[in-house]
Amino acid sequence: MTNNCCIDFTQPLSTGAARLRHRFEAPREVLVAHALHEVRGVLDAVFAAAQQGRWCVGHVRYEAAAAFDAALQTHAADGPLAWFAVYDAPLPWTDDAEDAGAAAAPAQVVWDDSPERDKFDTALAQIQQAIAAGELYQVNYTAPFRGTLQGPPQALFAALLRAQPGGYAAHLQAGDEQVLSVSPELFFDWKDVPEGGTLLARPMKGTAPRGATPEQDAQQAEHLRTAPKERAENVMIVDLLRNDMSRIALPHSVQVPALFATQALPTVWQMTSDVTARTRPGTTLTDVFAALFPCGSVTGAPKVRAMQMIRALEPTPRGVYCGAVGVVRPAGPPDAQGHHAVAATFNVPIRTVVLRAEGGLTRATCGIGSGITSGAQADAEWSEWQHKRAFVERASQPFDLLETLALQEGRFRHRDEHLARLQSAAAHFGVPWDGAVVSQRLQALAADHAEGAWRVRLLLDATGTPRAEAFALQPTAKPVRLQLATRAFTAARSEFVRYKTTRRAHYAAFAPTTPGVFDTVLWNEAGEITEGTFGNIAALIDGRWVTPPLSCGLLPGVGRAVALREGRVVEAVLRVADVPRVQGWAFINSLRGWLTATLDT
């Protein structure tokens, strides 16, 4: 391995947009701890190197905990307990080169081993029994899911950055494994100065899914801010960290300047709080780790008992996941003795994929977890796990953004509405957008197809490059036949439903196979009808035409929006149980317009 690394870190104490973005090549040395008694020595050496003006990038495994306190129980580690590469200086971040490489050789991860629901339910019940018995207040329970990477790790890291931007990201080529972390959670940011350092921890505890509409999204954020269960989960960890930080803090300096703040991530809302302190003169990096590690947000409270239970419930080591990944660097010019002040920033490596070569394959592991308290409900916690893993599912397979337009005699139907929806999807997925270039591509295609009726597929790839394809559009005989799905459409809340992309396997699984059936009417786990596999649905019931609201989980179709604007339909929840009362059906999309339909029953 080359031991090259890169970091893209938020600067948590900065009010500007500047980020700590660097790449590193050819380390002067690599510091590794394979045994517990070596961990403190590695951290001391890292601190000394930064005092000498060098940059150190690396990780500390969750299983290193006992190096700081023998009472903190874990499984035996499956790799180095601490690993740091030491560099003379950082190099500039090369965004363009990385994006170009990712576009030329995209990565795909096939996940073949996921957590099982029955084991999850059993573990949750055991945790709540222990809470009821007064043994602890909270346990952060986790499980890995595993897969195989096809393609270069750099391309997967680029995709993960697009899926989870703006946090504390690092790509470490660390010996026999690669760590691809896009964690949104700050473990600690510490600056050491002779008169006493400044220390900030920002634990992330409390989760809610993003809403399907702006109104629903705001409601989800407000619920997260105010829900007693979420606030209790957060404050337990804040109290734990206040206690941990007091070990190295100047008297009366531990403060909580921000409590219950909400942070919007692409697939979830997260609740964070800030805990700050002034560290005592003479505090070292090892002292900070000894006081804080592992972060309480990934253990539970009290930490010792929670980690005992984690070891009993989780059958394998966590590894880098739930440990710490970060950078230790000089802060400012040297003093008269040639020593620099030291700055250290570490994330809590959630939202992290670890790669290893096994049997000629590149195996990928990603952990997912949540804090279990007395009020936790199994269905809600399991749903939270699915929302949290959405970031890696987004990055696991390359996809393009997609719009399907009707081109009639050289003119596009509802062109502006389609471009507005495409621009919204580009903003959501972090895809570069140049509206003028997209419009030029459509104009060129229209000039080449000035006569007749055409179905146009407009695609936008991860680099923001558009392409358009035209296919002859055949007329559709009406009425069209629809069939009702025989099982729930569990992907209804997915971002790949709210936004139109080329990733459509969740729809393809419901495509009709019966001859003569045009499309399948889908319904969500609550029994609410949502849409078809390639268009929206309307129903005549109680004397009015209705179409399901976006909150049920469906694509905001352009044809649907036109029908709503014209007053042809209104939004209303339509349930499977209501089907016998429906007097008429319609299929709607921008390409084919309003098609009268019948439903096979």
pLDDT digits (tens, 9 = 90+) for 525-537: 999 999 999 999 9
- Which residues, 6+ apart, have CB-to-CB distance to 498 below 8 Å? 212, 550, 553, 554, 555, 556
| CATH 3.60.120.10 residue window(s) in the chain | 5-396
What was the pLDDT predicted at 21?
95
| CATH 3.20.10.10 residue window(s) in the chain | 480-600
Whether residue 165 is predicted with pLDDT greater than 90 in this model: the reply is: no
441-466 pLDDT, tens per residue?
A: 999 999 999 999 999 999 999 889 99
What was the pLDDT predicted at 208?
86
291 touches 244 (CB < 8 A): yes
Banded model confidence at residue 211, pLDDT cuts 50, 70, 90: confident
What was the pLDDT predicted at 16?
59
Phi-psi domain of 44 (left: phi exceeds 0; alpha: psi -120 through 50; beta: other): alpha
Catalytic residue among 98, 205, 417, 531: 205
Banded model confidence at residue 472, pLDDT cuts 50, 70, 90: very high
Banded model confidence at residue 100, pLDDT cuts 50, 70, 90: very low
Catalytic residue among 63, 177, 185, 393: 185
pLDDT above 90 covers a percentage of the chain that reads 80
Whether residue 292 is predicted with pLDDT greater than 80 in this model: the reply is: yes
- CA dihedral over 226, 228, 233, 236, signed as positive or negative: positive
Whether residue 356 is predicted with pLDDT greater than 70 in this model: the reply is: yes
Banded model confidence at residue 396, pLDDT cuts 50, 70, 90: very high
**Total Cβ atoms within 10 A of residue 86:** 23
User: How far apart are alpha carbons 537 and 532 in whole angstroms?
Assistant: 6
Banded model confidence at residue 96, pLDDT cuts 50, 70, 90: low
Residue 63, phi then psi, degrees to nearest 5: -75, 0
User: How far apart are alpha carbons 442 and 29 in whole angstroms?
Assistant: 54
Whether residue 476 is predicted with pLDDT greater than 90 in this model: the reply is: yes
What was the pLDDT predicted at 101?
47
594 touches 548 (CB < 8 A): no
Q: 160-164, 438-442, 482-486, 512-516: lowest mean pLDDT where?
A: 160-164
Report, as an integer, the average pLDDT of 144-152.
Answer: 95
Report, as an integer, the average pLDDT of 297-319.
Answer: 97
The fold of 480-600 is D-amino Acid Aminotransferase; Chain A, domain 2 (3.20.10)
What was the pLDDT predicted at 215?
84
User: How far apart are alpha carbons 192 and 278 in whole angstroms?
Assistant: 10
| CATH 3.30.470.10 residue window(s) in the chain | 401-472
User: Is domain 401-472 annotated with CATH 3.30.470.10?
Assistant: yes
User: How far apart are alpha carbons 47 and 26 in whole angstroms?
Assistant: 20
What was the pLDDT predicted at 386?
86
SS3 2: coil
What was the pLDDT predicted at 17?
57
Report, as an integer, the average pLDDT of 205-223.
Answer: 85
- Catalytic, 185? Answer yes
Banded model confidence at residue 104, pLDDT cuts 50, 70, 90: low
* Partners of 402 in the β-ladder: 459
Whether residue 330 is predicted with pLDDT greater than 50 in this model: the reply is: yes
Banded model confidence at residue 103, pLDDT cuts 50, 70, 90: low
The fold of 5-396 is Anthranilate synthase (3.60.120)
Mean pLDDT of the chain: 93
